Amino acid sequence: MARLGTSSVRYEIGLFRNDDPAPAACGHFIHVYVDRGTRRPTPLPDALRAALEPLVAAGTPDAR
């Protein structure tokens, strides 16, 4: 994971071919958490934030 925001998480992915250390493809996606009723961004639940914080990649610009 590359970034843990207030209401969003940016995940980075890489696809690797067999034992090749270089990725064949790279990408990312952003998951924004929204309130079902208002359909507006909402802060990440505390339990989810606690589970994701250890996964933020060290050395990334947004790592905490």
- Which residues form the domain of 46? 3-55
Output the domain CATH number for residue 10: 3.10.129.10
Q: pLDDT category, 60, cuts 50, 70, 90?
A: low
Question: Considering the domain boundaries, does residue 61 fall inside one?
Answer: no
Question: Considering the domain boundaries, does residue 25 fall inside one?
Answer: yes
Judge contact between 15 and 23, C-beta under 8 A. Answer: yes
Cα 22 to Cα 28: distance, rounded to the nearest angstrom: 17
Count up the domains in the chain and report the number: 1
Question: Considering the domain boundaries, does residue 62 fall inside one?
Answer: no
Q: What is the pLDDT of residues 19-58, one digit of tens each?
A: 999 999 999 999 999 999 999 999 999 999 999 999 887 6
Judge contact between 35 and 44, C-beta under 8 A. Answer: no
Q: Is 11 helix (H, G, I), strand (E, B) or coil?
A: strand
Question: Considering the domain boundaries, does residue 32 fall inside one?
Answer: yes
